[in-house]
Amino acid sequence: MDSAIEDGLADKLPVSLVSSRVTMEDITALGERLEIQTARLKEYLFSGTAKKAPEFNATKLAELCGRSRDQMLRLLDRGLEPGLSDGIKGKADGGSERNRRFTLSEARAWVKATRKPGRPPGLPGATITVANFKGGVSKTVTAMSTAQALSLKGYDVLCIDYDPQGSMSALFGLTPGFIPESETVLPLMMHATSEIARDTLQESIQATYWDGIDLVPASHAIAQGEFYLPLRQLEANNRGEEFKFWDVLNKALDAGIREQYDYIIIDTPPALSYMNMTTIWAADALLLPLPPEGIDFVSSAQFWTMLSELSTGLALGQKDFAWVAAVPSKVNHQRMYTKEILKWMQGSYGDMLTQTEIPDTAAVGMEGAKYSTVYDVERYAGSAKTLSRARDAYDKLVDEIDFMTRRKVWQIPATEQE
Ligand SMILES: Nc1ncnc2c1ncn2[C@@H]1O[C@H](COP(=O)(O)OP(=O)(O)OP(=O)(O)O)[C@@H](O)[C@H]1O
Ligand SMILES: [Mg+2]
């Protein structure tokens, strides 16, 4: 570089960049500064209040229970079973019959009482891993919205955040920087010499603001798992001991957790890593969000090839899935080539492509910036039509997911499906 230009640049650049190298201490300090900033940003976004689940009126409750509003009102007056709320709040203070309100847990109690039973008794819940090694394709929003929609169908759901970015934990209103590593999935990956190592996950499960969804949260610390899993494998191989790094989550879920929940939804980071292999090995089904854009479509081909090469190359053994589905996500029909790419996706994925497309919508984008999904909003700042279109799309996607799961995981015959 011309030395005059270099001199000019040196005047403009911060002294630290010109005169010293970036040490690990600098990076640590940067990380700490950003953690504090994130916490401040969250405080600003939530105005200091914790996340709150939405409430429901009688019309919305009727929809959730698959009844007309009139049928629902009759049921409410009759009181289907003792203990179910009639939604009339504050009668003594003049609360009106017409303004019935139900909390999320009251609404879910009604759904459970009026819907057909879901998971057949005695069968384990279904584990769905949401994956794609491409970033920003809507994995986290899809995983969270799916969990919420399933809980609104009366199911009990466990979400597992496997991403060191902790975006799903943030959607639950947690600050990933403040979560102790012993309360994440990390203990499953750790070396036996570590204090936090264990092969169970029960201790990391916490309740959330959303009735019917529990969470195993994540923090950046879980990234350490990427070092420990291969190390443990190597040591076990050298000692001739039996250890399968890819089976650690599967075994932890088998230890009672699958029976405890109807659905287990795992959000993964954009990678095909050692840790991600554990989520794939624990899954009954895989869901791959896939925006119909050239580069995303091409990289999805690599995802499947790499997955099969990895499992063969590492000799991980046999693994199959009850179902695998790609869901067109962030679909924008105004964009050039969207229709064409959707056709290609249809051609290559065939039956594995969901019927439902998730639109690229301001209802998610905007709420996403505020750490919310379409199910979190009671009153949307934009047009009501935008929100209801987006919600309909997620509802339909989850109907498909539930249909495939009832049929192929729980083997419920089509005639008994709702
Ligand atoms: N249907 C949608 N319409 C508009 N924006 C969306 C939609 N789904 C997700 N987004 C936005 O796209 C961005 C990426 O979404 P998300 O975090 O779910 O992707 P991801 O695949 O989990 O990303 P990462 O690979 O970083 O984990 C977010 O800003 C989110 O708000
Ligand atoms: Mg994500």
Q: Confidence band (pLDDT; 50, 70, 90) for 252?
A: very high
Q: What is the mean pLDDT of residues 95-124?
A: 86
What's the pLDDT score for residue 236?
Answer: 95
Q: Which residue has the higher pLDDT, 175 or 124?
A: 124
> Atom 18, ligand 1: which residue's CA is nearest?
138
330 lines ligand 1 (CB under 6 A): yes
> Atom 25, ligand 1: which residue's CA is nearest?
135
What's the pLDDT score for residue 386?
Answer: 87
Instruction: Tally Cβ neighbours within 10 Å of residue 396.
Output: 16
Which atom belonging to ligand 1 lies closest to the Cα atom of 361?
3
What's the pLDDT score for residue 210?
Answer: 96
Tell how strand 263-267 and strand 213-216 pair up. unpaired
Which atom belonging to ligand 1 lies closest to the Cα atom of 135?
25
> Atom 28, ligand 1: which residue's CA is nearest?
368
SS (H, E, C) 345-392: HHHHHHHHECCCCCECCHHHHHHHHCCCCCCCCCCCCCCHHHHHHHHH
163 lines ligand 1 (CB under 6 A): yes
Q: What is the mean pLDDT of residues 268-273?
A: 91
Q: Confidence band (pLDDT; 50, 70, 90) for 229?
A: very high
* Top-ranked range on mean pLDDT: pick from 22-31, 111-120, 139-148: 139-148
Q: Hey, CA dihedral for 387, 393, 396, 400, is it positive or negative?
A: negative
Q: Report the distance separating Cα 109 and Cα 93, nearest Å.
A: 25
What's the pLDDT score for residue 368?
Answer: 47
Q: Give the DSSP letter string of 296-317.
A: HHHHHHHHHHHHHHHHHHTT--
* pLDDT over 90 at 205, yes or no: yes
Q: Report the distance separating Cα 216 and Cα 260, nearest Å.
A: 14
What's the pLDDT score for residue 94?
Answer: 53
Q: Give the DSSP letter string of 54-98.
A: --EEHHHHHHHTT--HHHHHHHHHH-SSTT-------GGGT--GG
Distance 38 CA to ligand 1 centre (A): 18
Q: Confidence band (pLDDT; 50, 70, 90) for 413?
A: confident
What's the pLDDT score for residue 181?
Answer: 95
Inter-axis angle of helices 139-152 and 384-404, nearest 10: 80
CA distances from 200 to 192, 203, 219, 261 (A): 13, 7, 18, 16
Distance 401 CA to ligand 2 centre (A): 19
Q: DSSP code of 20?
A: S
277 lines ligand 1 (CB under 6 A): no
What's the pLDDT score for residue 214?
Answer: 98
Question: Which residues face 328 on adjacent strands?
Answer: 290
Q: Which two tokens stand for residue 195?
A: 């204090």
> Atom 9, ligand 1: which residue's CA is nearest?
138
* pLDDT over 60 at 48, yes or no: no
Give the whole-number percent of the chain exceeding pLDDT 70: 88
What's the pLDDT score for residue 95?
Answer: 52
Q: Is 207 left (phi over 0), alpha (psi -120 to 50) or beta?
A: beta
Buried-exposed string 111-147: b where 16+ CB fall within 10 A, e elsewhere: bbebeeebbeeeebbbbbbbbbbbeebbbbbbbbbbb
Q: Confidence band (pLDDT; 50, 70, 90) for 10?
A: low
* pLDDT over 90 at 4, yes or no: no
Instruction: Give the residue ranges of DSSP H helices in 195-293.
Output: 225-239, 248-252, 258-260, 274-281
141 lines ligand 1 (CB under 6 A): yes
Q: Which residue has the higher pLDDT, 171 or 3?
A: 171
Q: Which two tokens stand for residue 176?
A: 């990933």
What's the pLDDT score for residue 381?
Answer: 72
Edge-to-edge strands of the sheet including 285-290? 206-207, 213-216, 157-161, 263-267, 126-130, 285-290, 323-328
Q: Which two tokens stand for residue 163?
A: 């991403």
Q: What is the mean pLDDT of residues 323-343?
A: 93
Which atom belonging to ligand 1 lies closest to the Cα atom of 144?
18
Q: Report the distance separating Cα 416 and Cα 297, nearest Å.
A: 36
Q: What is the mean pLDDT of residues 109-132?
A: 92
What's the pLDDT score for residue 410?
Answer: 95
- Reduce the DSSP state of residue 23 to 3 states and report it: coil
CA neighbor of 324 nearest in space, from 404, 251, 254? 404
What's the pLDDT score for residue 47?
Answer: 44
Ligand closest to Cα of 357 equals: 1
Contact indicator for 213, 228 with CB cutoff of 8 Å? no
137 lines ligand 1 (CB under 6 A): yes
Distance 19 CA to ligand 1 centre (A): 39
- Low-confidence winner among 45-49, 181-185, 303-307 (lowest mean pLDDT): 45-49
136 lines ligand 1 (CB under 6 A): yes
- Reduce the DSSP state of residue 325 to 3 states and report it: strand
Question: Which residues face 290 on adjacent strands?
Answer: 328
What's the pLDDT score for residue 397?
Answer: 98
Contact indicator for 388, 381 with CB cutoff of 8 Å? no
Alpha-carbon radius of gyration of the chain: 24
Q: Which helix (H) or strand (E) holds 128?
A: strand 126-130
What's the pLDDT score for residue 27?
Answer: 82
Which atom belonging to ligand 1 lies closest to the Cα atom of 369?
31
> Atom 11, ligand 1: which residue's CA is nearest?
365
CA neighbor of 263 nearest in space, from 170, 140, 398? 398
What's the pLDDT score for residue 392?
Answer: 95
> Atom 23, ligand 1: which residue's CA is nearest?
136
> What mean pLDDT, rounded, does the chain reach?
87
CA neighbor of 216 nearest in space, from 247, 246, 260? 260
Q: What is the mean pLDDT of residues 94-123?
A: 84
* pLDDT over 90 at 277, yes or no: yes
Question: Which residues face 267 on adjacent strands?
Answer: 130, 161
Condensed to tens digits (0 to 9), the pLDDT of residues 12-45 reads 666 555 567 888 888 888 878 877 777 676 666 5
Residue with the two structure tokens 């979190």: 376
* pLDDT over 90 at 314, yes or no: no
